Amino acid sequence: MKRSIGVAILLLLAVWIFRVVSLAWEVRAQAEIDEARASDVIIVLGAAEWNGRPSPVLRSRLDHALALYRQGLAPRIVTTGGAGGDPVHTEAEVSRHYLAGKGVPAENIFLESKGASTAQSIAASAEILRRQNWTSCILVSDGYHLFRAKKIMESHGFRCLGSPRPARETSQAEAAWLYLRQAAGYSLYQLGIRI
């Protein structure tokens, strides 16, 4: 009996690993394309802020969203991200301040400042879209992050396009790890585990 249970567990684990590896290929494919076109809103997924200033990763995401906004692809931007341990600032507020400083009118910037994870930020952003009667968005993040984020947003019923910030140089091993990590995260999301 114990042996049968062990074999069943190993088989389930093997199936899950195969699923994650196949999803990693989809994550990689999504990371390499920019789907940005006219939408109701641009959503910038949060990243670290440093004492009220965007980290280099967050700044790069914001600059990319700003370029899309200036191209007229969407008339408003949602910034996301909670405090992340900072007792004073949230990623969303730091992002709004940065974009306003670059000329985006404050009334065109909406905040989702409670999310502590991708799933939480997406769910809260989806609620903003619902309240505003918007149906489409451009998600801005790192390329490896877009597959999972898009799938989560689409599960809330919105048309979602991915637009990666300019890629930084990574080794093949680091890129593979990022793709696998996102694939595992999405697979867990499908199982009801929200990270």
What is the residue type of 145? H
Place of tokens 């341990």: 85
Say what the pLDDT of residue 14 is.
Answer: 83
Find the helix packing angle between 172-190 and 143-155, rounded to 10°. 10
Q: What's the confidence (pLDDT) of residue 160?
A: 97
170-193 residue pLDDT tens: 788 998 899 999 999 898 888 888
Grade residue 79 by pLDDT with cuts at 50, 70 and 90.
very high
pLDDT on residue 172 = 87
Summary mean pLDDT of the chain? 93
119-154 residues labelled b (16+ CB within 10 A) or e (exposed):
bbbbbbbbebbeeeebeebbbbbbbbbbbbbbbbbe
> What is the per-residue pLDDT for 39?
98
pLDDT (0 to 100) of residue 190: 86
H helix runs in the chain, sequence order: 2-31, 56-70, 91-101, 118-132, 143-155, 172-190
Q: What is the pTM of this model?
A: 0.90
pLDDT at residue 195 tops 70: no
Average pLDDT estimate for 110-139: 96
Q: Is 122 helix (H, G, I), strand (E, B) or coil?
A: helix
Going by pLDDT thresholds of 50, 70 and 90, the confidence category of residue 61 is very high
